[in-house]
Amino acid sequence: MKFKHIAVEGPIGVGKTSLVDLLVQRFDALKVLERTENPFLEGFYRDKPGAAFQAQLFFLLNRYQQQRELTQGDLFNQVRLSDYIFAKDKIFAYLNLDDSELMIYEKLYALLEQNIPRPDLVIYLQASDKVLLERIRRRSRDYEVGISERYVAELNRAYNYFFFHYTATPLLVLDTSDIDFVERVDDLNELVTQIDQMEKGVQYYIPLGAGDGPRRKSK
């Protein structure tokens, strides 16, 4: 495996953690899952005043602490697979914070970000708004009950915009709307092949449908 640190990213409900679980088994890798516990999250989804800023700072500091812990010790001899990148924090910040809050956030983010190592490869999972909503409803997490269709759509657009301009690492983009890594082993096998063939820059993997085979293009 030429990549030592692979990060899987995408909006809420796209299937990041499920894919990481499967790839960890394939690559005998160390699994790094984002710490999602946040005492301010329920208040944020219910539009409680101030909860967005509280939740954002809590996530930022949690993500920073976890990433710093991973840089300590000799962890780089084993492939690492994580279900987020540190930079995702800014996607949510710009979506949810007002200008005065962003001014404080930016100063703190700039201090923390310079100490965070980048992954060797990022896999960006895409899906339609409808598919994301279906997956969110299906997993029935208590703190996600209040998520609106509008918020999911806005978040999905923000992710697409961020990764359309992303150049920090090699990037593999997958449309998961018609892919089921958990139930269809062929889908997972094809993804592993894409990872093995991945080079620098951006590559898109877009399934054409059953029997048609995958289509790849580079940017």
Determine the pLDDT at residue 145.
67
- Residues paired with 204 in a beta bridge: 173, 217
Q: Most distant CA pair in the chain: distance in Å?
A: 52
* pLDDT exceeds 60 at position 211: no
pTM of the complete model beyond 0.85: yes
Alpha-carbon dihedral sign for residues 153, 91, 64, 62 = negative
What distance in Å separates the CA atoms of residue 12 and residue 126, rounded to the nearest whole number? 10
Question: What is the three-class DSSP state of 181?
Answer: coil
**215 or 145: which leads in pLDDT:** 145
36 pLDDT band (50/70/90 cuts)?
Answer: confident
- The reported pLDDT for the residue numbered 102 is 96
Q: Helices 16-27 & 185-197, crossing angle to 10 degrees?
A: 70
Query: Span 29-40, mean pLDDT?
Result: 90
* CB 10 within 8 Å of CB 152: no
State the pLDDT confidence band at 71, using cuts at 50, 70 and 90.
confident
Token pair in block for residue 148: 């609106």
Query: Average per-residue pLDDT in the chain?
Result: 86
DSSP letter (8 states) at residue 165 = T
For the segment 2-26, the average pLDDT, to the nearest whole number, is 92
Three-point CA angle 70, 73, 78, nearest 5°: 70
**Strands (E) located in 87-128:** 121-126
- Alpha helical stretches, state H, the chain: 16-27, 41-45, 51-70, 88-96, 99-113, 129-139, 149-164, 185-197
- Considering the segment(s) 5-218 as one domain, its CATH architecture is 3-Layer(aba) Sandwich (3.40)
Instruction: Determine the Cα–Cα distance for residues 150 and 26; give it in Å rounded to an integer.
Output: 36
**Would you say 87 and 168 are in contact if contact means Cβ atoms under 8 Å apart?**
yes
pLDDT of residue 61: 96
Residue type, 108: L
Q: How many CB atoms lie within 10 A of CB 11?
A: 24
List of E strands, 136-213: 171-175, 202-207
Average confidence (pLDDT) over 118-144: 86
Considering 120-124, 208-212, 215-219, the range whose residues carry the highest mean pLDDT is 120-124
